[in-house]
Chains A and B, each alone.
Chain A
Amino acid sequence: GAVVSQHPSRVICKSGTSVKIECRSLDFQATTMFWYRQFPKKSLMLMATSNEGSKATYEQGVEKDKFLINHASLTLSTLTVTSAHPEDSSFYICSATGTGIGQPQHFGDGTRLSIL
């Protein structure tokens, strides 16, 4: 159980393009979803936390106009990287938790974003 599907797994696009990444919980209702960025050989950097039906909470230093997050339902959250530039190239990974405090996070497979 507790499967999270993230799509696409790999994106290569030109500078200036906007890229949308989807994160779906397949067999549970995800009250909260998290978006992380992971640099090579580095830890997970939390970008934002989103709760269904409300605005995302962004971590310090993360541009909310650059990284648009929508959590329209209990099974879907999307991250849109707007006007992406080479410095946005990274591994983006989402996770989801069910109802309850301190629930484990279930991660998607991640999206490798490469901006040329």
Chain B
Amino acid sequence: GQQVMQIPQYQHVQEGEDFTTYCNSSTTLSNIQWYKQRPGGHPVFLIQLVKSGEVKKQKRLTFQFGEAKKNSSLHITATQTTDVGTYFCAGLYSGAGSYQLTFGKGTKLSVIP
């Protein structure tokens, strides 16, 4: 099946430092979604990117979708302890009249106060 590769698996940063997680697909995506899962919680939808080269911002979070719609990134500026959690990307694949959302393995972010 389709796979979405997400790196890094873990990231430890000092509070105030920036953080970036990357997702890559070998084939073109219809869209890409980002989710955040706090420790002990469930994934929560953050945003969806659809257009080639799209960039969206949510306060300190910047989401990008590559020109070829095969990769995406999430960048957090000046991390805070509230940013702790695992960030998942999920790529939507389409083909033969069906759609499949595939999650990356996630990047676990730890923020040292």
Contacts and interface: CB of A to CB of B under 8 A. Distances in A.
Contacts of B30: 101-102
Interface of B is mostly: strand
B41 A101 contact: no
B43 interface: yes
B48 to A, nearest CB: 6
A81 B108 CA distance: 29
A43 B106 CA distance: 6
B91 to A, nearest CB: 10
Interface string A77-116: 0000000000000000101000001101111111000000
Nearest to A93: B42
B108 A43 contact: no
B28 to A, nearest CB: 14
B51 interface: no
A110 B48 contact: no
Contacts of B42: 93, 107-110
